[in-house]
Structure 1
């Protein structure tokens, strides 16, 4: 089905510890399935991250861009986009 880019799946698999105490995926396939199950979202800009979190009910109005980037559910991708995984 490949709903997520390889970059997103690999970034989540490598950095899942920032969101979860225990690993939720041990392989690429498990990570991809997990992202699908929790309906993770890929976005291109920090503005889209802010909009998504705001629409999801998070209080992001007073947050700086740096604080958004530090949010545990936001994974910065090497290419410049973002993966948002709600825990």
Structure 2
């Protein structure tokens, strides 16, 4: 089971519209449950975002990987990756 801290959950709640047409979570508990169910990943920096996509076989350009809808900038150097 993944542990998502408050910063991760707030980031997802505030920005879920970049990936989904409608909110999938209305509060922290729902956000945590959704992220656990979707096996979302928190990585420590842009390099790890690129590594994640390379390992999963997703073909993205180096310069736009952080702009992918699945990538949420937590704001503290970490990124949340949620695959829809």
Q: How many correspondences in the alignment?
A: 84
Where in structure 2 are the equivalents of 1:26-65 lying within 5 Å?
26-60=26-60, 63-65=61-63
Note the alpha carbon deviations across 1:47-85, whole angstroms, 9 max, x for none: 11011111112013xx133x1111000001111110000
TM-score by length of 2: 0.93
Structure 1 unpaired stretches of 5+: none
Aligned to 1:25: 25
Structure 2 unpaired stretches of 5+: none
TM-score by length of 1: 0.90
Q: Is the 8 A contact 2:38 2:83 kept in 1?
A: yes
Note the alpha carbon deviations across 1:3-53, whole angstroms, 9 max, x for none: 111111110010000000011001110001000000000001111101111
SS of residue in 2 equivalent to 1:83: strand
